[in-house]
Amino acid sequence: MSTINLADFQLHDKDTGSADYQVAVLTQRIKEITGHLDDHKKDHSSRRGLLKMVARRRKLLTYLRSESEERYLKTIAALGLRK
C-alpha cells in the first residue's frame, strides 16, 4: 500500500484544515481501513466508520468543486479518485 504525501496537498506550511488536505487524510485512512476489512470481513463497526469517511470525503470534494474546479481536478488526479 502506497502512502500519500500530505505535504503536497497543503496550501501553506501549517495548513491542516483546507478541503484538499482533509480529502488526502481521509483517502489515506480509507485505504488503511479497506485493507483491514479485507482481512476481517465481519468487522461491521469498522465498515460503518469506513462508510462515514467515504461520505465525508464525498461532501468535501463537492465543496471543493464548487469553490475551485482547478483544485478539485488537481486533488482527484493526485489521489487517483474517480469523478
Contact criterion met (CB below 8 Å) for 26 and 60: yes
Q: What pLDDT score was predicted for residue 1? A: 59
Dist CA 64 CA 53 (whole Å): 16
Specify the pTM: 0.93
Which domains can be identified in the chain, with CATH numbers?
6-79 (1.10.287.10)
Picking from 32, 30, 24, 26, the residue whose alpha carbon sits closest to that of residue 72 is 24
- pLDDT 10s per residue in the chain (83 long)? 578 999 999 999 999 999 999 999 999 999 999 999 999 999 999 999 999 999 999 999 999 999 999 999 999 999 999 98
Contact criterion met (CB below 8 Å) for 71 and 41: no
